[in-house]
Amino acid sequence: MGKAFSNVSPAIKKETINVAIATGVGVVIMWAVIFAIKKLTDIDVPFDYTVFLGGIGGFIVAVINFFWMGLTVQKVANQEDEKMAQAIMRNSYRRRFLLQIAWIVVVLLAPVFFWATGMLPLLFPSASIKLRGFVKQRNYNKEKEVEQKQDGC
């Protein structure tokens, strides 16, 4: 990985790792839920290699998409021309969107993937970021409340 990733900011590396961990946890939970649905209900869902391949592929696409977005933001932050920065961001968004659409088409057409487990991981990075933000805000609010009580306000 050496030279290829040497120009990537530590913040992007850290956040990509956080997103990868959260997405991985989401995929494992998704598999557990599908297993529970299979065993505990009459709903006919597969629980075979297609479920696992879909989850692994969806995980890879989701993490690549997030990392690519981070690289784009890093590139835009260093851009002085605002119109060029907007064009770079727009192009990145289109390409990342096309990557996800291409993956969804593959998942829907290739019988080696269970469609649901291939698509759901694409939602996990956004959900994990929102959840982390919610938890951080809640902790911040609690800290402020404690500080106000200590100050006698």
Question: In the prediction, which pLDDT does 34 show?
Answer: 97
Residue with tokens 């990075």: 125
Q: Please name which of 115, 100, 113 lies closest in space to residue 53, comparing C-alpha atoms.
A: 113
Residue 1 included in any domain:
no
Question: In the prediction, which pLDDT does 153 show?
Answer: 58
Residue 3 included in any domain:
no
Per-residue confidence in pLDDT tens, the chain, 153 aa: 556 677 899 999 999 999 999 999 999 999 999 999 999 999 999 999 999 999 999 999 999 999 999 999 999 998 899 999 999 999 999 999 999 999 999 999 999 999 999 999 999 999 999 999 988 888 888 887 877 777 765
30 within 8 A of 55, measured Cβ to Cβ: yes
Question: In the prediction, which pLDDT does 63 show?
Answer: 97
Question: In the prediction, which pLDDT does 7 show?
Answer: 87
127 within 8 A of 26, measured Cβ to Cβ: yes
Residue 36 included in any domain:
yes
Residue 101 included in any domain:
yes
Residue 85 included in any domain:
yes
Question: In the prediction, which pLDDT does 19 show?
Answer: 96
Tell me the residue range of the domain where 34 lies. 9-151
Residue 93 included in any domain:
yes
Residue 4 included in any domain:
no
Q: How far apart are CA 129 and CA 26, in angstroms?
A: 12
The count of domains in the chain is 1
Q: How far is CA 22 from CA 50, 104, 121, in A?
A: 22, 21, 10
Q: How far apart are CA 47 and CA 114, in angstroms?
A: 9
Residue 2 included in any domain:
no
Question: In the prediction, which pLDDT does 4 show?
Answer: 63
Q: How far apart are CA 48 and CA 124, in angstroms?
A: 22
The HSE-up count of residue 35 (CA atoms within 13 Å, CB side) is 8
